[in-house]
Structure 1
Amino acid sequence: MKRVLLLGLCLSASSAFAANPVLLETPVAYAPDARGVEKVKSECRVDDLLTRHIGDVLRKLNKTGDGTIASQTDAGGASILRVQITNVFGVGGGAWSGPKATTVLADLIEDGKVIRHTRVNRWSVGGMWGGFKGTCSILDRTAIVIAKDLGRWVRDPSYQIKEEAPPQEASAPTAQIDPQKAE
């Protein structure tokens, strides 16, 4: 029994070492038709937040390097994760101005071909003490969750990233107008 267990551990360890690393293509860029408030996009640098967090997740998965590779660089047999930002939802004012969201499209590329594609949209209202956080720190929270989602998605081909609905605070209540009271 011990031999079977030892053999199983050796085989699983060798297959883990044989797996190709996945590297984040940098820079993470905005899609040509990306939406969002320009001031928030430029001040919060969501592209840099995503690069840092996704790169860290991939570095840990690969157990080597920094997890990123510059665009147009030979990947040397590694798979490439290309991420484009399509939406940065939110305005200045931190949690007081409502929830914030980041949406990205991601392609997993092997040998120059897209083998998988996904869309990730994550919302945050700042979490604990959100009222004391700024817009950029709330968007940083969305980047952290996107990085974790993409790390799992890269690692597990069967994993499907579920669309996250906006928090209750993002939906304005619909006003019911009483025709008799309308003036």
Structure 2
Amino acid sequence: MKPMLKLLPFALALASAPALADSVRMAAETPYSEDAEISEKVRSECLKLNGQLPAYTREFGAEFGVRVDLLDRIDTAAEGRVLEVEILDAVSMGNAFIGHQKHSRIKGNLYENGQLVASFKGRRNSMGGAFAGYKGSCSVLGRTMKALGKDIAQWLQNPTDGARLGDM
């Protein structure tokens, strides 16, 4: 067999794999906005909430061909692409017995080489999904972060300014 033909399956596999766009740097913990009026109960009990959004953004980014690097601290003036995201709202009403009514709102700005290139606002609602009666409030809020992480990853494929993600 000719050497070139041996490489054909490898070349075809590479061609069909999604190409990773330039990486995007994002904080590993999403802060609450200074203006956020998030209940103390959510802040004190849902401790994983701030880390879920970036983790899900990275996870779904890999599926959509966007590499998301999570850092302890980001600098929007730095070279490359930097995504700054804040949690505007994390509302937890209801419970497993009367029904969950949760939503999260976020906003984000994408910078490239220190210049703002696009922004978005997003919101996701959840009533808990299947087996909601067996889920805690923080778990249901986590579902909203997962959906928003997927929304952000899709948006990063083709960021448009003023985008409204999710249930907006």
What is the aligned partner in structure 2 of residue 49 from structure 1? 52
TM-score by length of 2: 0.75
Once the two structures are superposed, residues 19-44 of structure 1 have per-residue CA deviations (whole angstroms, 9 ceiling, x without a partner) of: 31112123310110112211112211
CA contact (8 A) 2:87 2:106 kept: yes
- Superposition RMSD in Å: 3.3
What is the aligned partner in structure 2 of residue 146 from structure 1? 148
Greater gyration radius: 1
- Following the alignment from structure 1 to structure 2, what is the Cα–Cα distance between the partners of residues 74 and 119? 18
- The alpha-carbon distance between structure 1 residues 91 and 83, as it changes in their structure 2 partners (threshold 3 A), is same
* Structure richer in strand, relative to its length: 2
In structure 1, stretches of 5+ residues that fail to align are: 1-8, 166-183
- Following the alignment from structure 2 to structure 1, what is the Cα–Cα distance between the partners of residues 141 and 22? 31
User: How far did 1:74 drift?
Assistant: 9.3
Number of aligned residue pairs: give it. 154
Kindly, what percent of the aligned residue pairs are identical? 26
CA contact (8 A) 2:105 2:124 kept: yes
What amino acid is the match of 1:146? L
Once the two structures are superposed, residues 63-85 of structure 1 have per-residue CA deviations (whole angstroms, 9 ceiling, x without a partner) of: 76x72123246998531111100
- Pick which of 69-78 and 139-148 moved more: 69-78
Q: How does 1:8-87 map to 2 (within 5 A)?
A: 16=19, 19-45=21-47, 46-61=49-64, 67-72=69-74, 77-87=79-89
In structure 2, stretches of 5+ residues that fail to align are: 1-11
- The alpha-carbon distance between structure 1 residues 56 and 47, as it changes in their structure 2 partners (threshold 3 A), is same
User: SS in structure 1 opposite 2:34?
Assistant: strand
- Following the alignment from structure 1 to structure 2, what is the Cα–Cα distance between the partners of residues 52 and 61? 14
- Following the alignment from structure 2 to structure 1, what is the Cα–Cα distance between the partners of residues 128 and 65? 30
- Following the alignment from structure 1 to structure 2, what is the Cα–Cα distance between the partners of residues 94 and 75? 44
- Following the alignment from structure 2 to structure 1, what is the Cα–Cα distance between the partners of residues 55 and 130? 23
What is the aligned partner in structure 1 of residue 8 from structure 2? none
User: How far did 1:157 drift?
Assistant: 2.8
Which structure exhibits the higher relative contact order, with contacts defined as CA atoms closer than 8 Å and separated by 6 or more residues? Answer: 2
What is the aligned partner in structure 1 of residue 7 from structure 2? none
User: How far did 1:163 drift?
Assistant: 5.5
